[in-house]
């Protein structure tokens, strides 16, 4: 580290500076407080070691001046016998530590090792925060379409306002990215962002995930579980697919949002909580409220600010930007040229899977391109080159199918298409379609859902 040693006793200054240099530090020495401050202002140090009693300016005044201009600099005080109260006052003004005379130089060498470790950890944390901000900041929200520009403006406006947010949009439109941008650009950015998808949990499991439980609360509760309400303390909780929260859990969620407290399952102890809720829905909650499927009081509690994400089919002019972004994400630094005819094909597609479908398509195209640096039609999914269309009437003599039968055939083809895009994953395909897995398979069998 860069060390400034301020000591007017020559014997101490010489021996201590030599030992610090032997330990690998870059050391400058001053014997006057005012001169030391001038040296520091010209070239700041990582650590200042100063005697408390100095000509020109005492060590406490030097400490205050240094901490005022450079809060990240560590200051260590050297004090004589009987000056401990002054050293304690220095600690209150930001000194890292103090050493009483007489001392062994090795003690200060070891103390600087500790300072060095703490500085490294602080720098690592700063770099990690920077990486998080780069990954989850506005940079991942890509597009110049007017509807997206309105989204960016709203996200920037509300990020620093600690209110609940409801994000509406079809599956694959980037609701989670918006939630991340809100959290990591807001006042809670240094605290956790806890995420959960309500669509993948049953009613009992949603409750357990949110509230947690005590050991013995139920048969398989072998140890205490901390729920997501607690894990999101002082941070944000992102609840995706909140339209899938069952009515009984909606009541409990409303209480937490209103009273900021809850109990773990199997416990009578009330726990206070403070988190920002960011919820996302793939369905129109107003319509669900009208049908009695979602509580109106919970809806109004969630709907402080609403962000509506447009589907990709309404922002086709963003496809070139999005493709370039996903090439950067999945191309491993390689540059690819996309043929104009390829963009034309992409912009003709209806994109039922939205941005997620486009990203999967770009990743697939890069994989199929191999060593080639051009992405063309042959690298795209067949469904993108030739989009799925509703089934045409019979091409043979006879009556055309009924509207109901035509719709059923189209549903079957569309479900198969989304299944293929989802890599055969039933859970992912059902989520994209906004169906339960049971309903999805009943439609594939041509049966009406119960």
Provide the CATH number for the domain around residue 38: 3.40.50.2300
Cα end-to-end distance, the chain, whole Å: 71
pLDDT, mean of residues 218-244 = 92
392 is a domain residue: no
Strand partners, 2: 26
Condensed to tens digits (0 to 9), the pLDDT of residues 82-113 reads: 666 777 788 888 888 888 888 899 999 999 99
> Where in the sequence is the domain holding 431, given as residue range(s)?
403-444
Q: Which pLDDT score is estimated for 138? A: 59
Structure tokens at 148: 């997206």
Reported as a pLDDT band with limits 50, 70 and 90, residue 390 is very low
352: Cβ–Cβ under 8 A, 6 or more apart, which residues?
Answer: 414, 417, 418, 432
Does residue 312 contact residue 145 with C-beta atoms inside 8 Å? no
Q: Which pLDDT score is estimated for 382? A: 60
Q: What are 65-68's contacts with CB under 8 Å, separation 24+?
A: 65/37, 66/37, 66/40, 67/93, 67/94
SS3 450: coil
Angle at 173 between CA 170 and CA 178, to 5 degrees: 115
Does residue 273 contact residue 260 with C-beta atoms inside 8 Å? yes
pLDDT of 389 > 60? The answer is: no
Q: Which pLDDT score is estimated for 135? A: 52
Do 163 and 34 share a domain, yes or no? Answer: no
Q: Which pLDDT score is estimated for 387? A: 46
Q: Which of 83-92, 132-141, 225-234, 279-288 has the lowest mean pLDDT?
A: 132-141
Structure tokens at 162: 């600690």
396 is a domain residue: no
pLDDT of 242 > 70? The answer is: yes
Do 225 and 362 share a domain, yes or no? Answer: no
Q: How many helices (H) and strands (E) does the chain have?
A: 19, 16
Do 303 and 365 share a domain, yes or no? Answer: no
Reported as a pLDDT band with limits 50, 70 and 90, residue 80 is confident
pLDDT of 228 > 90? The answer is: yes
Q: H-type helices in 260-318, by residue range?
A: 285-290, 296-302
pLDDT of 371 > 80? The answer is: yes
133 is a domain residue: no
Write out the DSSP string of 158-222.
HHTS---EEEE--TTS-HHHHHHHHHHTSTTTTS-EEEEEGGGS-HHHHHHHHHEE-TTSSTT--
Do 159 and 288 share a domain, yes or no? Answer: yes
418: Cβ–Cβ under 8 A, 6 or more apart, which residues?
Answer: 352, 353, 429, 432, 433
397 is a domain residue: no
Distance CA 109, CA 203 (A): 59
Q: How many residues does the chain have?
A: 450
Greater model confidence, 384 or 175: 175
Q: Which of 129-133, 149-153, 331-335, 418-422 has the lowest mean pLDDT?
A: 129-133
Greater model confidence, 446 or 21: 21
Does residue 7 contact residue 13 with C-beta atoms inside 8 Å? yes
Domain count, the chain: 4
Averaged pLDDT score across all residues of the chain? 85
CA 1 to chain centre: 33
Q: Which pLDDT score is estimated for 81? A: 61
Do 318 and 424 share a domain, yes or no? Answer: no
Greater model confidence, 285 or 397: 285
Q: Which pLDDT score is estimated for 345? A: 83
84 is a domain residue: yes
395 is a domain residue: no
pLDDT of 397 > 50? The answer is: no
Q: Which pLDDT score is estimated for 433? A: 79
pLDDT of 446 > 60? The answer is: no
- DSSP code at position 288: H
pLDDT of 375 > 80? The answer is: yes
pLDDT, mean of residues 8-26 = 93
Q: Which of 38-42, 81-85, 312-316, 437-441 has the lowest mean pLDDT?
A: 81-85
The closest alpha carbon to 146, from 314, 281, 284, belongs to 314
431 is a domain residue: yes
Structure tokens at 88: 């304690």
Q: Which pLDDT score is estimated for 328? A: 87
Q: Which pLDDT score is estimated for 295? A: 94
Determine whether 363 is exposed, middle or buried from the number of CB atoms within 10 Å of its CB (0-12, 13-18, 19+): middle
pLDDT of 179 > 70? The answer is: yes
pLDDT of 329 > 70? The answer is: yes
Q: What is the dihedral of CA 183, 185, 187, 193, to 10 degrees?
A: 20
């Amino acid at each position: 580290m860069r060390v400034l040693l301020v000591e007017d006793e020559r014997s101490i200054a010489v021996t201590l500076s030599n030992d610090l240099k032997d330990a690998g530090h870059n050391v400058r020495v001053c014997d006057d407080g005012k001169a030391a401050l001038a040296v520091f202002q010209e070239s700041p140090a990582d650590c200042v070691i100063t005697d408390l009693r100095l000509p020109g300016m005492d060590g406490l005044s030097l400490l205050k001046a240094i901490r005022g201009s450079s809060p990240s600099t560590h200051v260590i005080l050297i004090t004589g016998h009987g000056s401990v109260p002054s050293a304690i006052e220095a600690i209150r003004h930001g000194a890292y530590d103090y050493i009483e005379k007489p001392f062994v130089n090795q003690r200060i060498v070891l103390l600087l090792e500790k300072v060095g470790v703490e500085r490294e950890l602080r720098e690592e944390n700063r770099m990690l925060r920077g990486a998080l901000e780069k990954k989850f900041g506005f940079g991942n929200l890509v597009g110049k379409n007017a509807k997206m520009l309105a989204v960016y403006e709203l996200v920037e406006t509300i990020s620093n306002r600690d209110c609940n947010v409801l994000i509406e949009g079809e599956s694959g439109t980037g609701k989670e990215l918006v939630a991340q941008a809100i959290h990591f650009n807001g006042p809670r950015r240094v605290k956790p962002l806890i995420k959960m998808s309500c669509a993948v949990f049953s009613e009992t499991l949603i409750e357990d995930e949110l509230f947690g439980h005590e050991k013995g609360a139920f048969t398989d509760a072998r140890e205490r579980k901390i729920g997501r309400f607690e894990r999101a303390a002082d941070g944000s909780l992102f609840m995706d697919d909140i339209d899938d929260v069952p009515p009984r859990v909606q009541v409990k969620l409303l209480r937490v949002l209103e009273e900021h407290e809850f109990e773990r399952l199997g416990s009578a102890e009330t726990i206070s909580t403070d988190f920002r809720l960011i919820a996302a829905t793939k369905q129109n909650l107003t319509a669900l409220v009208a049908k009695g499927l979602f509580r109106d009081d919970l809806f109004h509690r969630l709907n402080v600010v609403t962000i509506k994400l447009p589907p990709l089919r309404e922002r086709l002019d963003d496809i070139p930007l999005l493709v370039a972004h996903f090439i950067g994400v999945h191309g491993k630094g390689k540059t690819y040229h996309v043929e104009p005819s390829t963009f034309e094909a992409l912009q003709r597609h209806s994109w039922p899977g939205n941005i997620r479908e486009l990203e999967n398509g770009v990743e697939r195209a890069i994989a199929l391109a191999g060593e080639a640096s051009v992405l063309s039609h042959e690298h795209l999914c067949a469904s993108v080159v030739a989009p799925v269309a509703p089934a045409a009437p019979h091409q043979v003599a006879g009556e055309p199918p009924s509207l109901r039968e035509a719709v059923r055939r189209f549903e079957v083809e569309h479900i198969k298409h989304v299944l293929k895009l989802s890599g055969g994953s039933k859970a992912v395909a059902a989520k994209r379609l906004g169906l339960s897995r049971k309903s999805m398979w009943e439609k594939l069998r041509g049966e009406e859902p119960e």
